[in-house]
Amino acid sequence: MNLRSDQWYGTGDRNAYIHRAWMRRGVPSDAFGGRPQIAIANTASDLTPCNAHHRDIAQFVKNGIWEAGGVPLELPVPSLGETQMRPTAMLWRNMAAMATEEMLRANPIDGVVLLGGCDKTIPALLMAAASVNIPAVVVPGGPMQSGTFRGRTLGCGTDVWRLSEEVRAGTLSEEEFQSSDSSMIRSAGHCNTMGTASTMGLLAEVLGAVLPGLAGTPAADARLREGAQLTGRLVVEMVQDDRRPSTLFSAGSFHNAIVALSALGGSTNAVIHLLAIAGRLEIPLSMADFDRIGSAVPLLVNLQPAGTHLMDDLYRAGGLLSVLKEVRYLLDPEALTVTGRTLDSYLDAAEVWDREIIRTADEPLLQEAGIAVLHGNLAPSGAIIKPAAATPHLLTHRGRAVVFDSVEDFAARIDDPALDVDADSVLVLRGCGPKGYPGMPEASNMPLPKKLLAQGVRDMVRVCDGRMSGTAYGTVVLHVSPESAVGGPLSLVRTGDWIVLDVPARRIDIEVADEELQRRQPSAGAAAAYAKPTRGWERLYIDHVQQADTGADLDFLIGSSGSVVARESH
Helix and strand numbers (H, E) in the chain are 21, 14
Residues 463 and 497: their CA atoms lie apart, in Å, by: 13
Residues 500-559 that bind ligand FES (CB under 6 A): none
Binding mask 6-45 for ligand FES (x = CB under 6 A): ----------------------------------------
Q: Pick one of 74, 101, 110, 119: the residue that binds ligand FES (CB under 6 A).
A: 119
Nearer to ligand FES, 129 or 311 (CB): 311
Helix axes 269-281, 287-294, angle to 10 degrees: 110
Amino acid identity at 96: A
**Residue whose CB is less far from ligand FES, 205 or 483:** 205
195 binds ligand FES (CB under 6 A): yes
Q: Are 167 and 177 in contact (CB under 8 A)?
A: yes
Smallest distance, ligand FES to C-beta of residue 88, A: 12
Percentages of the chain per state (helix, strand, coil), in multiples of 5: 40, 15, 45
Calpha distance 375→382 (Å, rounded): 5
Q: How many residues bind ligand FES (CB under 6 A)?
A: 10
Alpha carbon distance, N-terminus to C-terminus of the chain: 27
Among residues 71, 139, 197, 463, the one that binds ligand FES under rule CB under 6 A? 197
Q: Does residue 154 touch ligand FES according to CB under 6 A? A: no
Closer to ligand FES at the Cβ: 119 or 289? 119
Among 38, 40, 41, 50, binds ligand FES (CB under 6 A): 50
83 binds ligand FES (CB under 6 A): yes
Q: How far apart are CB 60 and ligand FES at their closest, in Å?
A: 21
The nearest distance, CB 192 to ligand FES, in angstroms, is: 9
- Decide: 277 and 114 in contact? Cβ < 8 Å: no
115 vs 503 by CB, closer to ligand FES: 115
| Least distance (Å) between residue 102 CB and ligand FES | 25
**Shortest Å, Cβ 195 to ligand FES:** 6
Nearer to ligand FES, 191 or 258 (CB): 191
Complex with ligand FES: residue 195 or 212, whichever CB lies closer: 195
State in angstroms the smallest separation of the CB of 119 from ligand FES. 5
**Min dist. Cβ of residue 158 to ligand FES (A):** 11
* Cα dist from 453 to 261, 337, 398, 422, whole Å: 31, 47, 20, 11
143: Cβ contacts below 8 Å, ≥ 6 apart: 189, 190, 191, 192, 197, 198, 216, 218, 219, 310, 311, 312
Task: Report the distance separating Cα 10 and Cα 269, nearest Å.
Answer: 44
Cis status, amide bond into 522, omega within 30 of 0? no
| Contact between 358 and ligand FES per CB under 6 A | no
Nearest to 301 by CA among 278, 277, 348, 267: 267
Residue closer to ligand FES, measured from CB, 50 or 126: 50
| DSSP string for residues in 280-332 | HHT----HHHHHHHHTTSPB-B-BTTTSSB-HHHHHHTTHHHHHHHHTGGGS-
Output the smallest distance, CB 83 to ligand FES, in A.
5
Please give the full DSSP string across 99-112, using - where no structure is assigned: HHHHHHHHS--SEE
Scanning 79-133, the segments in alpha helix (DSSP H) are 93-106, 121-132
Beta carbon nearer to ligand FES, 155 or 522: 155
Residue 229 CB, shortest distance to ligand FES, in Å, is 24
Least Å from the CB of residue 144 to ligand FES: 9
Whether 523 contacts 491, CB under 8 Å: yes
427 sits near ligand FES (criterion: CB under 6 A):
no
Neighbours of 316 (CB within 10 A): 12
Give the shortest CB-302-to-ligand FES separation in angstroms.
20
How many Å apart are CA 305 and CA 276, to the nearest integer? 24
Comparing CB distances to ligand FES, the nearer of 74 and 82 is: 82
Write the DSSP assignment of 447-489 as a string of letters: PPPHHHHHTT----EEEESS---TT--SSEEEEEES-GGGT-G
Question: Considering beta carbons, is residue 119 or 509 the nearer one to ligand FES?
Answer: 119
Do 499 and 509 form a contact (C-beta atoms < 8 A)?
A: yes
Residue 132 vs 156, nearer CB to ligand FES: 156
Nearest-angstrom CA–CA distance, 553 and 548: 8
DSSP structure class, residue 35: S
The dihedral over CA atoms of 160, 161, 166, 172, expressed in degrees to the nearest 10, equals 10
Q: How far is the CB of 389 from ligand FES (least distance, A)?
A: 17
DSSP 3-state of 374: strand
Other C-beta atoms lying within 10 Å of the C-beta of residue 500: 19
| CB-nearer residue toward ligand FES: 191 or 336 | 191
118 lies in the binding site for ligand FES (CB under 6 A): yes
Q: C-beta of 84: minimal distance to ligand FES in Å?
A: 9
Task: Give 119 or 553: the residue with its C-beta nearer to ligand FES.
Answer: 119
Nearest to 115 by CA among 38, 186, 192, 185: 38
CB of 157 to ligand FES, least distance (A): 6
Please tell me whether residue 80 binds ligand FES under the rule CB under 6 A.
no
- Among positions 174-193, residues that touch ligand FES (CB under 6 A) are 190-191
Closest to ligand FES by CB, 80 or 330: 80
Question: Which of 6, 74, 82, 159 is close enough to bind ligand FES by CB under 6 A?
Answer: 82
Provide the binding-site residues for ligand FES, judged by CB under 6 A: 50, 82-83, 118-119, 156, 190-191, 195, 197
